[in-house]
């Protein structure tokens, strides 16, 4: 490729660009676009967008300014906040950062499982109050988890939970046999049948029009009253009102939520204080040093792009992941 690349770094301003990006400075023109107006100005003539978040304004609103765009690399795993019909129909290639968050998210799930089973929240509270109160705690070995979403994140979660003696069943988009890790992966249609058997229900499927609202009143009612629900996927996968009602009715014992319909979770949400609920601010995949790993992936893909080689982590735009 002979023409000089123009890379728009969306959602970030100059000093906080991804680690490693500065090594491209002599070779490409870098344009930082922390907000929608700057994005509109930066897009004409740009062939690459390095996208981080579109809370600062969605690309769709300035899409007509993208006159030379060929490739968007997304620093997240889920691309639901990025995709829109004009982009899906265009020739622009989208890549994501799948793979980078898997290990941290699997560890996070294990942490939540242990937090619940070993009653750690209560231990912290009793210590604060200087109360010595002996209790019994749950065993996790021999319990059962249902992991909904069997991409690289779900598979790493399955591997981690198996390592501590939890029996894991996977639900993917459609049924497949002989998966080396999960054996049979069940299709979405099996979800309601499998829910009553699970002690842990872990949701990590991508948000697409097919998965939005896949957990509603019927799914929560199908769960064991002792089960805990863990959502690290997207808030929109869940009917939050139905979850709140199910928790209040005792249809399930708890919910650890890292993602919400509205983020940040509004202070008035009952989820902050409902017994059995653990709220965290969309952080399960983010570990110390991860921006450097994101930078390495982008730089590797950028070299491939310039060399005309196949890119890593190409997203199936029509499928939505
Ligand atoms: C975060 O939620 C991501 O998709 O990477």
Closest protein CA for atom 1 of ligand 1: 76
* Residue 131 CA, ligand 1 centroid: distance in Å: 40
Q: Pick the atom of ligand 1 nearest to 75's CA.
A: 5
- Please give all residues whose beta carbon lies within 6 A of any atom in ligand 1, as ranges: 76-78, 101, 285
Report how far apart, in Å, the C-alpha atoms of 43 and of each of 46, 62, 67, 132 are: 5, 8, 7, 62
Q: What pLDDT score does 13 carry? A: 67
pLDDT at 77 over 70: yes
Chain position carrying tokens 């948000």: 207
Structure-block tokens of residue 229? 């629900």
272-295 pLDDT tens trace: 999 999 999 999 999 999 999 999
Question: Which residues lie below 8 Å from residue 265, measured CB to CB, with a gap of 6+?
Answer: 271, 272, 279, 281
Segment holding 248, helix H or strand E:
helix 240-249
Output the average pLDDT for the chain.
95
Q: For residue 14, what pLDDT band results from cuts at 50, 70 and 90?
A: low
Mutate to test the pocket of ligand 1, among 54, 73, 74, 76 (most ligand atoms within 8 A of CB): 76
Taking residues 26-55, report their average pLDDT.
Answer: 91
How many other β-carbons are positioned within 10 Å of the β-carbon of residue 30? Answer: 19
Q: Give the global pTM.
A: 0.96
93-152 pLDDT tens trace: 999 999 999 999 999 999 999 999 999 999 999 999 999 999 999 999 999 999 999 999
Q: Pick the atom of ligand 1 nearest to 79's CA.
A: 4
Pick the catalytic residue: 173, 207, 234, 240? Answer: 234
- Examine the residue annotation and report whether 234 is marked as an active-site residue of this protein: yes
Instruction: Kindly state the DSSP code that residue 188 receives in the 8-state scheme.
Output: G
Taking residues 230-254, report their average pLDDT.
Answer: 98
260-275 pLDDT tens trace: 999 999 999 999 999 9
Question: Which residues lie below 8 Å from residue 241, measured CB to CB, with a gap of 6+?
Answer: none
Pick the catalytic residue: 159, 282, 304, 312? Answer: 282
Mutate to test the pocket of ligand 1, among 55, 77, 297 (most ligand atoms within 8 A of CB): 77
- Examine the residue annotation and report whether 296 is marked as an active-site residue of this protein: no
Instruction: Kindly state the DSSP code that residue 63 receives in the 8-state scheme.
Output: G
**What are the residues facing 147 on neighbouring strands?**
170, 202
């Amino acid at each position: 490729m002979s023409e000089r690349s123009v890379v728009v770094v969306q959602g970030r301003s100059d000093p906080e660009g991804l680690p490693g990006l500065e090594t491209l400075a002599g070779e490409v023109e870098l344009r930082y676009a922390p907000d929608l107006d700057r994005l509109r100005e930066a897009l004409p003539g740009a062939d690459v967008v390095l996208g981080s978040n579109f809370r600062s304004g969605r690309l769709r609103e300035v899409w007509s300014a993208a006159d030379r765009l060929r490739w968007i690399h997304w620093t997240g795993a889920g691309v639901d906040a990025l995709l829109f019909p004009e982009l899906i129909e265009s020739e622009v290639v989208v890549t994501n950062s799948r793979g980078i968050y898997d290990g941290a998210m699997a560890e996070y799930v294990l942490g939540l499982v242990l937090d619940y089973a070993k009653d750690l929240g209560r231990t912290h509270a009793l210590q604060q109050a200087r109360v010595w109160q002996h209790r019994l705690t749950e065993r996790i070995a021999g319990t059962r988890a249902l992991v909904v979403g069997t991409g690289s994140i779900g598979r790493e979660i399955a591997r981690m939970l198996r390592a501590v003696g939890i029996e894991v069943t996977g639900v993917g988009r459609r049924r497949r046999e002989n998966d080396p890790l999960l054996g049979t992966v069940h299709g979405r249609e099996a979800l309601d049948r499998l829910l009553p058997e699970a002690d842990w229900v872990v949701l990590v499927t991508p948000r697409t029009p097919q998965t939005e609202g896949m957990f509603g009143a019927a799914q929560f009612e199908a769960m064991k009253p002792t089960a805990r629900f863990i959502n690290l996927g997207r808030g929109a996968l869940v009917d939050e009102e139905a979850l709140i009602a199910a928790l209040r009715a005792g249809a399930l014992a708890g919910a650890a939520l890292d993602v919400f319909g509205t983020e940040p979770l509004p202070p008035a949400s009952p989820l902050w204080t409902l017994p059995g609920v653990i709220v965290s601010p969309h952080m399960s995949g983010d570990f110390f040093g991860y921006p450097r790993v994101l930078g390495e992936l982008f730089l590797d893909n950028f070299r491939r792009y310039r060399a005309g080689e196949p890119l890593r982590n190409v997203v199936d735009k029509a499928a939505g992941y």
